[in-house]
Amino acid sequence: MGRRLVAALGGVALALSLVACSGEGAGSGGDTAEKKPGDLTIGVSMPTQTSERWIADGNAVKEKLTAKGYQVDLQYAGDDIPTQAQQIDQMITRGADVLVVAAIDGTALSGQLQAAAEAKIPVISYDRLILNTPNVDFYVSFDNYKVGVAQATALLVGLGLQTKDGAKGAATGPFNIELFAGSLDDNNTQYFFKGAMDTLKPFLDAGTLKVKSGQTRIEQAAILRWQQETAQKRMEDLLTSAYNDGSTVQGVLSPYDGLSRGIITALQNAGYGTGSKKMPVVTGQDAEVASVKLINDGVQGSTVFKDTRLLAEQAVRAAEAFLQEKTPEANDTTTYDNKVKVVPSYLLPIETVYKEDITKVLVDSGYLTAEEVAAGQAKK
């Protein structure tokens, strides 16, 4: 009898502590569980429309939420930090019940997220982790460290130093390579670069790979706001400063397809890809259609495919859980520390795409059509 009472009291204590937990941070979003989907609004804040992937992300999240009957307030910030802050402020004043945010600068939204917390609006960080605030409740992304590993591995495979199954390749080098990184205000940038550098390190240490420019630090390799033009300019500068002695570059680590296109333009303008000057092995990320065409044409070496349909699905699941005053399902509760707390995350798998994988991975799955790949342009 006594034991049962203790067990029952333990249960009550557990239930109370769970209630207390769910009341933490941004909280439960008010009485959303009782409302009809049509009375609930999800604010979706995306960074930019200049990159095709964020358009796909925004559309996918909106379509999936609308199909479930929710109202969606989707905004793009034109890669301008004050614009994103203002759009989120507006979403809060217009009464959003959940926010889904892909931040331009992961450290710049603390004020907005404080206001969201005060209004009990749960916040889901979309693909890029929002830093330095307790007011981010969930994170949906991919395994970003593995993206960097995959990019470096694709570089090694392209150069023939490694085979796809991880065995030693036939090539011996040494090869000249150059390194690019993403925007330093994007938390993912560090993960991509670290994953890549950990993978390249043994080859750099052995002298099989040489960064001829000597620019190996992330601050030197970074491209602010992931701008294609900035990457093109940096590649041009590298070619004129480090390759003016008749030497050539054989590989370029690029963390994103948009940057890869800028890099490829600089290389082509310098005569690579024609005559004896072979196009270097260039990596990428996002399977943007213009780059998939370049891979298909044998110009870009590879990309890392992150299925934005699945990411959108996870964001929608998390948003629905919050609206039903439940805790979204996480599959990683240790990795993503935003400097104030470890944010519970749902991380999705990634896939490297070489030319021979385009049909199976991208076309057969319905992500792109064969016509779009051939044209290098999305239909819509």
Q: Kindly state whether residue 45 participates in binding ligand GAL, applying the rule CB under 6 A.
A: no
What's the min distance (Å) between Cβ of 367 and ligand GAL? 14
Give least dist CB 4 to ligand GAL, A: 52
Asked whether position 186 contacts ligand GAL by CB under 6 A, the answer is: yes
Instruction: Kindly tell me which of 220 and 227 has the beta carbon lying closer to ligand GAL.
Output: 227
Residue 106's closest CA among 76, 90, 128? 128
Candidate ranges 80-88, 181-189, 359-367, 371-379; the one touching ligand GAL (CB under 6 A): 181-189
**Interaction mask 152-171, ligand GAL, x per CB under 6 A:** --------------------
Which residues make Cβ contacts (< 8 Å) with residue 327, sequence separation at least 6?
Answer: 22, 321, 344
**363 touches 296 (CB < 8 A):** no
Q: Per rule CB under 6 A, is residue 225 in the interface with ligand GAL?
A: no
User: Among 28, 51, 125, 283, which residue sits at the site for ligand GAL (rule: CB under 6 A)?
Assistant: 51
Question: Helix, strand or coil for residue 330?
Answer: coil
Task: Indicate the DSSP class of residue 345.
Answer: E
Q: Which two three-digit tokens encode residue 375?
A: 């044209």
Measured at the alpha carbon of residue 34, what is the angle toward residues 23 and 140, in degrees to the nearest 5? 55
Minimal distance, residue 255 CB to ligand GAL, in Å? 7
138 in contact with ligand GAL (CB under 6 A): no
Q: Give the residue, chosen from 125, 285, 300, 352, that forms a contact with ligand GAL under the rule CB under 6 A.
A: 285
Instruction: Return the number of the residue (96 or 103) whose C-beta is nearest ligand GAL.
Output: 103
Burial 284-301 (b: 16+ CB within 10 A, else e): bbbbbbbbbbbbbeebbb
CA-closest candidate to residue 263, choices 104, 138, 155: 155
When binding is defined by CB under 6 A, the residue of 79, 178, 185, 286 that contacts ligand GAL is 286
CA distance 167 to 202: 14
- What distance in Å separates the CA atoms of residue 255 and residue 155, rounded to the nearest whole number? 11
Among 84, 125, 133, 188, binds ligand GAL (CB under 6 A): 188
Instruction: Compute the distance between CA of residue 106 and CA of residue 349 in angstroms, rounded to an integer.
Output: 22
Q: Please report how close the Cβ of residue 288 comes to ligand GAL at its closest, in angstroms.
A: 9
Burial class of 319 by CB neighbour count within 10 A (0 to 12, 13 to 18, 19+): buried
Q: Which is nearer to ligand GAL, 186 or 307 (CB)?
A: 186
CB 53 within 8 A of CB 121: no
79 scored as a contact of ligand GAL (CB under 6 A): no
The smaller minimum CB distance to ligand GAL, of residues 32 and 183, is found at: 183
What part of residues 298-337 is at the interface with ligand GAL (CB under 6 A)?
306
Are 21 and 53 in contact by the 8 Å Cβ rule? The answer is no
Query: Which 254-283 positions form the footprint of ligand GAL (CB under 6 A)?
Result: 256
In the complex, what is the shortest distance from the CB of residue 258 to ligand GAL, in angstroms, rounded to a whole number? 6
Give yes or no for residue 128 binding ligand GAL (CB under 6 A). Answer: yes
Contact residues for ligand GAL (CB under 6 A)? 51, 53, 127-128, 182, 186, 188, 226, 256, 285-286, 306
